[in-house]
Amino acid sequence: MDFSVDDTTAELAGLVREIGEQLVTDESLRELDARFGPGTESGGTDRETARFHARCWDELVRAGVPAALAPEPLGGAGLGVVADVLVLRELGRVLAPVPLSPAIRASHLLAATGLTDLAAAVAEGREIAAVADGSSPEVDWAPVADLVLRANGDGLHVADRDSVSVERTVPVDFSCAGVVTGDLGEPAPLPEGAAAFDALTRRVHLAAYQWGVIEAALERTAAYATTRHQFGRPIGSFQAVAARLADGMIDVDAVRLSTLRAAYELDACSGHPGSAARDAVASAHFWACDAGHRLAHSAVHIHGGVGLDRSEPAHRYFLAAKAGEFRLGGATRQLLDLGDVLATDGDPWEYSA
C-alpha cells in the first residue's frame, strides 16, 4: 500500500508544523497550566479560563487550515482523512490544545445535512463546534463551543451553546471538556452511513494526535538520554535504556502505519465504511492505546524524577498519551472489536493490496 501524499497535503502539514512550533511552546503551555491545570481545576468554564490555545487556533484559521480540510463544496481542498491525520499528528507533537478535529467533523456533518451556512461558519473559524461521541454526555470542547452537535441513527442534532447546560469536567490531561445536558433539538436527516463514518473518523483523528504525542515524547526522551550522564556516561549508552528507546521507535512506526492505513481505508470507502475500514480503525486504535501506554511510561522512567516535575515538559506528554489511551477506550476494547469483525466477516484484507 502506498502511503505517499501529494504536494498540497505535504505543504499543509508543513504549515501546521511551523505554526505549532512557533506558537505552542513549552512556555505557552506553562501559561495554560496556570490557567487550568493542576491546582486550578475550578476554572475552565469559558474561553478565558479553559485550556484553549487561542493564539494558535486564530493562526490556524487565518492560514485556512480548517477550511482546507472542509468538504469541497465549501471550498475545501478534497484532501481526505489522510490529510486530517498528517495535520493532527503535527498538533499532537506540540500538544496543541485547539479544536481542529471537531471543526473538520462538524463541517462535514453540517454540509451533509444541507446546513451549509453553519458548515461554512465552522470551516472558516467563525464558530467553534463541539461534536459528541455517540451518546456520551461528556463532550470535548463543549465549554468553549458556539455549537454542540451529536450524530446518531436519528440524524444530526445541532444546538447553540446557550441553549444547553455545560458542566466542566477535568480530564486527566486537563483538556477542555464538559458534560452537556439539555435538548439538542430535532435531528436533521443524515445520508446513510454518515454517522458511522464520523464515529470512525473521530477514532482515527484521536489515533493521529496520539501518533504525534508519542513521536515527540520519544524524540525528547532520546535527546535527554544523550545529555543526562550517570557513572561518567550518557544514560542512553546503557543497553537497557537503548533497548527501551528502540522498542519505542517500533511502537511509533506501528502507530504511524496503522493510522495511515485506517485513513486510507476511510478515504477509499466513499462514506460507506465496511469491514475493511472498521478493522483498520480498530487496529489503529489498538496500537495508539497500547503503544501510547508503553511510551508514556518509558518517557517518564528514562527521565527519572524530571519526568514528573511539573516545571518540565515531559509530564505533559505522559498526561496527553494517557488521556489519548482513555479516550480511545483502551487496547482490550479494540481487540474485541477486531475479533467481532473477523468472526463476522473473515479477514477483510486477505486479498487486498
* pLDDT 10s digits, 245-263: 999 999 999 999 999 999 9
Q: In terms of residues, how long is the chain?
A: 353
Q: What is the pLDDT of residue 43?
A: 67
Q: What is the pLDDT of residue 353?
A: 47
Give tens-digit pLDDT for 83-141: 999 999 999 999 999 999 999 999 999 999 999 999 999 999 999 999 999 889 999 99
Residue 40 class from Cβ within 10 Å (0-12 exposed, 13-18 middle, 19+ buried)?
A: middle
Residues 162-187 have a mean pLDDT of 91
Q: What is the pLDDT of residue 74?
A: 93
Return the DSSP state at 218.
Answer: H
How many percent of the chain have pLDDT more than 90?
70
Helix 275-303 and helix 314-328, axial crossing angle in degrees, nearest 10: 150
pTM of structure: 0.94
Cα–Cα dist 199/291, whole Å: 22
Residue 208 class from Cβ within 10 Å (0-12 exposed, 13-18 middle, 19+ buried)?
A: buried
Select from 272, 282, 295 the least CA-distant residue to 215.
Answer: 295
**Which are the contacts of 157, defined by CB distance < 8 A and separation ≥ 6?**
149, 150, 151, 184, 185, 186, 187, 188
Q: Which residue has the higher pLDDT, 344 or 298?
A: 298
Give tens-digit pLDDT for 35-78: 777 766 666 677 888 899 999 999 999 999 999 999 999 999 99
Q: Which residue has the higher pLDDT, 310 or 298?
A: 298
Tell me the three cell numbers of residue 297: 511510561
Give tens-digit pLDDT for 144-154: 999 999 999 89
Give tens-digit pLDDT for 205-216: 999 999 999 999
Select from 149, 142, 127 the least CA-distant residue to 199.
Answer: 149
Euclidean distance between the first and the last CA atom of the chain, given in angstroms as a whole number: 6
Residue 141, classed as helix, strand or coil, is coil
